[in-house]
Amino acid sequence: MKQALYLLLVFGLVPIQTTVLTYAGLGGVRPDLCLVAAILVGFFAGELDGLLLGLVLGFVQDLFSAGELGLNLVAKGSAGFLAGMAGRYVTNTTPITVLTTVFGLSLLSGTVFLLTVGAGGLAGVSFAIWSVLLPQALWDATLGGAGYWLVARYIRREQAILEGPTGWDR
């Protein structure tokens, strides 16, 4: 089940990101589905799953981006790993925790891109911060928080069905 879901993410997210999601962009900026997926998997399945899925998703994203190969691979792998570590050490994970983590990691990964890619001088960097970096981080955080809330709700419901009514419920 888990492997099937990962395969679906690997072969489904980048096609959605490059085609359908172009309509969802606000001011031409779209959420980074691969980053959000790597972070959510890190939170739910641990740092190793987050790292490995992030690496693969980042690599596929690299194949369909104009940049050098390896940049997304490292960015998404690190994000998945860091999210897994956060999930391990934060005692009570809530959608707000995830939202904040995704926002921070998106800003971090975006800053790495900005420094590596270059945006055409100082004026270009300032423009890129306001027109790409921050809007994308907000997009990612919203999507991450909502995604976490949905998945956590689904898991809780499944667990409740498996465990049956408890003594308190009776």
Partner 1 sequence: MSRSTSGTRRVTLVLVALLLSALLVFPTQSQGLLRHIGVPLAPIVTLPIEALAALDRSLRDVWEGYVALHGVHEENLRLRREVELLRDQNSRLREATSASQRLTALLEFKGRAASKTIAAQVIGRDATNWYRAVMVNKGEGDGVRVEMGVITPAGVVGRVVKTSASASMVLLVTDPNNAITGLIQRTRDEGIVEGTARGLARMKYIPLLSTVRAGDRVITSGLTGGFPRGLPIGVITSIDKTEGDLFQSGEIVPDTDLTRLEEVLIITAPRGEAESDADALSAQPPQQRKP
Q: Which residues bind partner 1 (CB under 8 A)?
A: 11-12, 14-20, 22, 28-30, 32, 34, 48, 51-52, 55, 59-70, 72-74, 77, 113-114, 117-120, 123-125, 127-128, 131-132, 136
* Least Cβ distance, residue 96 to partner 1 (angstroms): 25
* Least Cβ distance, residue 132 to partner 1 (angstroms): 5
* Least Cβ distance, residue 90 to partner 1 (angstroms): 20
Q: Which two tokens stand for residue 23?
A: 């309509």
Helix/strand/coil for 120: coil
> With 0-12 CB in 10 A as exposed, 13-18 as middle and 19+ as buried, what is 2?
exposed
Give, as one character, the DSSP assignment of residue 29.
Answer: B
Comparing CB distances to partner 1, the nearer of 12 and 160 is 12
User: Under a CB-based contact definition with an 8 Å cutoff, are residues 108 and 134 in contact?
Assistant: no
Comparing CB distances to partner 1, the nearer of 60 and 98 is 60
What proportions of the chain, in percent to the nearest 5, are helix, strand and coil?
80, 0, 20
* Least Cβ distance, residue 123 to partner 1 (angstroms): 7
Comparing CB distances to partner 1, the nearer of 99 and 128 is 128
Q: Which two tokens stand for residue 91?
A: 């005692």
Comparing CB distances to partner 1, the nearer of 132 and 152 is 132
Beta-ladder partners of 26: 29
